[in-house]
Structure 1
Amino acid sequence: MGEPAERAPLASERLDSLVAVLDLVRAGAAATRPELGRHSGLGRTVIAQRVAELMEHGLVGDGALGPSTGGRAPRQLTFRADAGHVLVAELGATALNVALADLSGHLLTQYRERNDIAAGPERTLDRVEALFDRILAERPDAADLLWGIGVGVPGPVEFATGRPIAPPIMPGWDDYPVRDRLATRYRVSTWVDNEVNTMALGEYRAGLAKGVDDVVYVKIGTGIGAGLISGGRLHRGGQGCAGDVGHVAVVDDTDVVCRCGNVGCLEALAGGGALAREGTRAAREGRSGYLAEVLASGRPINGSDISTAARHGDPVSVELLARSGRLIGTTLATVVNFYNPSLIVIGGQVANAGDVLLAAIRQVVYRRSLPLATRDLRIVHSALGDRAGLMGAAYMVIDELFSRQHLPLWIDAGSPRGRTDIPAALVATGGR
């Protein structure tokens, strides 16, 4: 089947007002036509035309009557989140999550299983596709209304092309066409980003960062990375690798070589791999009975084991987490002084350790940052947990489809279904 014929572009003024009205309704910022006028500054006639157009395309519907302010009660508007669906996947170093979401970012079906990202793209994406197929078989309505796919991977991604670029913990993935493979397989446009960016976006749109315009989301798992929200927008940087704090040099120690090839990296000394390494040493030396039992069970110790041991009061694990927290806090203090966020959200499997890690991070950040930079700064645990990346991947797709850049490519056709070329507009304009 060929690509649908591209229609004439919308006039600029019409497009601007259409996107403004749609964004207000789907964000819940305006629920009635009078509210749309107040928030957008558009006239009643333009509001009526754009609402009618969005209703015609099945994106907006009439709801119940709203409260009266003295005259006729206004009819409330609802965003038709069931008009389409998106498939999303979050690929971590040791696990993968997949889900189906509606157009509001709500997760409808979710599966999680262990996976070694180092096994390579073919094996991992084969499994992702099998789980996607399972979801679509269970939800045939979603198969007919599939609008896009979003994927987060644990490494640097050139956002414009959807390809990982020299990812340290992903051997075999360099320049692999993740986007092209999934777009061709499912006949929908696909977006790929670093998983920390999708986590940051999920927290910003649906978690504790909602409504906060300057945020740093820090994932502490096998690796360490950060996603940046600046002025209410996800900041990817020139090529898409902004926020890679895991490879900031924190010491001159040459004994531990990071997977990126350098020495002294934060990730190599404070990430899940470092915790596992030091925890294994403690178990073999008899300094931790709890970790010795894990090692005796026949499987290797990982970062999550250190977190669990710390929650059970294991003193070695508590100190390992505190040391990691201090190192991470030192790096984040630099980020705070440079970037001045209002909120830092800590997520990832290692971050589930409880208060030990968070307390150490807070102590160092508040001590080493400028007083003005920390005056209103909050440092909190993620409230979304392992849903943050999946929800963020859904928002990534939805926001791109409804963006001013991409909406005119498909709105007159009524759906982006069958369009695999929508992200190519990024390449044409030099990316974001």
Structure 2
Amino acid sequence: MGGVQLPRTTRSTAGFTPEHVDSLVSVLDLVRSGTARTRPEIGRRSGLGRTVVTQRVNQLIDRGLLEEGELGPSSGGRAPRELRFRARAGVILAAELGATSIGAGVTDLAGTVLAEHEEAADIAQGPERILGRVEELFDELLTQVRASGGPRSIWGVGIGLPGPVEFATGRPSAPPIMPGWDGYPVRDRFTTRYNAPVWVDNEVNAMALGELRAGSARGQRDILYIKIGTGIGSGLVSGGRLHRGSQGCAGDIGHAAVADDTEVVCRCGNTGCLEAYAGGAAIARDGEAAAREGRSEYLAGVLADAGRVTAADVARAAQSGDRTSVELLTRAGRLVGSLLATLVSFYNPALVIIGGGVAGAGDLLLAAVRESVYRRSLPLATRELRITRSTLSDRAGLVGAAFMVIDELFTAERLAHWVEAGAPAGRPSLVEVPLRTPLF
């Protein structure tokens, strides 16, 4: 990592013991999450003694991570002073790259988006062009935030990519729709540019994390996030933690086989993949075929006017009552639902969240997914199962990429390396600090 040497121990330069750091993290997490707002509440929630709570709070205030606010409600004695996490102490740069779009943003340390931008882009243009544009957007958004009096210090960078990512190295691994990206050092590039810790993950994992931290999955522990966009993927949360698998490619359902047909070739090179039949590109392909063959007057008009048919066009046609488009979306939903039913019976989540551009096109596809899942899954697995649309919509991946960084920075092992300085800015080697228990 640019020659930066890691400390030999997980203790900070101040000589904090692991127990000391654990108690600091416990206090900080209680305030960051809003679970406790006063010193007495922290003591009750954490089990720490009054003296220890006072010491840890003072240390966190001295280092600029907490601040005192208004007087809280009194329980009979002197009213306690409320505590607040200083979410504006720094910023996180976050980006979600899809097959056909770039979303970039700047958030505070609580994951609140301070500035953002989204634009169309083709991921197949390659890493140099796409990541160069991401850097331009980051710089423009940072200028906006700083001009409005926002935080200046960059605490970390989070990137979501539309393909398999080896999480340990931050490099894409043979991504089917990303020619020229295999093994590209995404983490190293942003580390060099911003001199901050950088984490890179699959975009669907970022979306799942965004829903878990700030969306419809808050408070849940076992969820499945299904993205139906140009491609199809899923993110798995088990016991409140994102499950990446041993190499980082858990949840790649888009390339699971759902048919024996050898004529439809997926972008990954195989045949029979779910994505090749139910993804946005597949719906657009079949919609355009229907237009050319005269099976849909609505889509034929779209093709004549625009020269092509998109999945969004098919969704609009379905909402207008076009029978062929209704059949296309219903078929796609049933295929997704059939595979999802297997996952529901196998994994038994409490919540399934459907997101992505195609999923947001209307209720027709979602209804078809639900029908297949409830019909084909084990009754016990679906007894309390909820299947719902994403509440964060297009923001899920962006917010999740920011929370990926925030969660990693505030682990006890990493906090021990930067708490004395008050910020992790300028410490890119934090990504290499080993965790006692893997976070995700």
Q: 2:31 aligns with which of 25, 32, 45?
A: 25
| Alignment-derived partner of residue 60 in structure 2 | 54
Equivalent residue for 2:71?
Answer: 65
Alignment-derived partner of residue 82 in structure 1: 88
- Shift in CA distance, 373/427, structure 1 to aligned 2, threshold 3 Å: closer
Of 361-370 and 37-46, more deviation after overlay is shown by 37-46
Aligned partner of residue 256 in structure 1, secondary structure: coil
**Given that residues 115 and 145 in structure 2 are in contact (C-alpha distance below 8 angstroms), is that contact kept between their aligned partners in structure 1?**
no
Q: Does 1:304 align with 2:312?
A: yes
What CA deviation, in whole Å up to 9, does each residue of 1:146-170 have, x standing for no partner? 1111110000101111001011111
Aligned to 1:363: 371
Does the CA contact (< 8 Å) of 1:275 and 1:302 recur in 2? yes
CA contact (8 A) 2:89 2:151 kept: no
Determine whether 1:195 maps to 2:217. no
Tell me whether 1:112 sits opposite 2:136 in the alignment: no
Amino acid across the alignment from 1:93: A
TM-score of the superposition, structure 2-length normalised? 0.94
Q: Who is 2:21 aligned against?
A: 15
Match of 2:353 in 1: 345
DSSP 3-state at the match of 2:83 = strand
Match of 1:228, SS state, is strand
The question of 1:151 aligning with 2:170 is answered: no
Q: 1:267 aligns with which of 268, 275, 294?
A: 275
Distance 1:2 1:333, change over 3 A: closer
Residue 278 of structure 2 contacts residue 333 of structure 2 at CA under 8 Å; is this kept in 1?
Answer: yes
How has the CA–CA distance of structure 1 residues 407 and 119 changed in structure 2, closer, same or farther, with 3 Å as cutoff?
Answer: same
In structure 2, relative to structure 1, the CA distance for the partners of 1:406 and 1:320 (3 Å cut) is same
Aligned ranges 1:228-239 → 2 under 5 Å: 228-239=236-247
* Further displaced range: 7-16 or 50-59: 7-16
Q: Any idea what SS the aligned residue of 2:428 has?
A: coil
1:256-298 superposed Cα distances (whole Å, 9 cap, x missing partner): 1112222111111111111011001001112222222222234
- The answer on whether the counterparts of 1:256 and 1:263 sit within 8 Å (CA) in structure 2 is yes
Kindly tell me: are residues 358 and 431 of structure 1, through their superposed partners in 2, closer, same or farther at Cα, counting changes over 3 Å?
Answer: closer
| 1:289 aligned onto 2:293 | no
Contact 2:88–2:150 (CA<8 Å) still a contact in 1? no
Aligned-partner SS, 2:420: helix
Q: Which amino acid aligns with 1:339?
A: Y
Question: How much has 1:308 moved relative to structure 2?
Answer: 2.3
* Separation (CA, whole Å) in 1 of partners of 2:244 and 2:213: 17
Describe the superposition over 1:97-140 as per-residue Cα deviations: whole angstroms up to 9, x where unpaired: 00110000000111010000011111101111111111122233
Matched residues, number: 432
Offset at 1:40?
Answer: 1.1
What is the identity, as a one-letter code, of the residue corresponding to 2:92?
V
Identify unmatched segments of 5+ residues in structure 2.
none
Whether the aligned pair in 1 keeps the contact of 2:72 and 2:79 (CA below 8 Å) is yes
Q: CA deviation at 1:299?
A: 4.0
What are the superposed Cα offsets for residues 179-217 of structure 1, whole Å, 9 maximum, x if unpaired? 100110111111100000110011011111100110101
Q: Which moved more, 1:416-425 or 1:175-184?
A: 416-425
Q: Which residue of 2 aligns with 1:319?
A: 327
Letter in 1 for 2:89: A
How far is 1:302 from its partner? 2.1
SS in 2 for 1:100: strand
Q: CA RMSD in A?
A: 1.9
Quick one: percent identity of the two aligned structures?
Answer: 62
For the residue of structure 2 that corresponds to 1:361, the secondary structure is helix
Judge conservation of contact 1:183–1:190 (CA < 8 Å) in 2: yes
Q: Is residue 402 from structure 1 mapped to residue 410 from structure 2 by the alignment?
A: yes
Report the Cα offset of residue 144 of structure 1: 2.9
CA distance in 2, matches of 1:142, 1:171: 38
Given the superposition, is the C-alpha separation of residues 428 and 27 from structure 1 closer, same or farther in structure 2, using an over 3 Å criterion? closer
CA contact (8 A) 1:307 1:352 kept: no
Other structure's SS at 1:423 match: helix
